[in-house]
Amino acid sequence: METLLNDKNWQAYLPLALSLQEKDEIKAALLKNIAQTPDSFTALCEYLRCLRIIEEYPLKTE
């Protein structure tokens, strides 16, 4: 996560893990953002970057 986020202190202000439902909700919100952004190329690049982070994000164990 340090490499993906380019931040050694990410645990200080971000959750340590996400549930599958939280990941799905974030993905849906990011996808909706692409449709509402005039610059679709930039939005797509940002979406793909965020998607990679979300996929690599630690999963909550319930």
**d(Cα 14, Cα 44) in Å, to the nearest integer?**
23
Distance CA 45, CA 43 (A): 5
Give yes or no for residue 62 having a pLDDT over 90.
no
Tokens, residue 13? 């202000």
pLDDT tens-digit map of 2-56: 777 888 888 888 888 999 999 999 999 988 888 888 887 888 888 899 999 999 9
Q: pTM of the prediction?
A: 0.76
Whole-number pLDDT of residue 28: 92
Q: Is the separation of the CB atoms in 56 and 14 below 8 Å?
A: no
Calculate the alpha carbon distances from 54 to 34, 38, 39, 46 in Å.
16, 24, 22, 12
What is the token pair recorded at 4? 């993906």
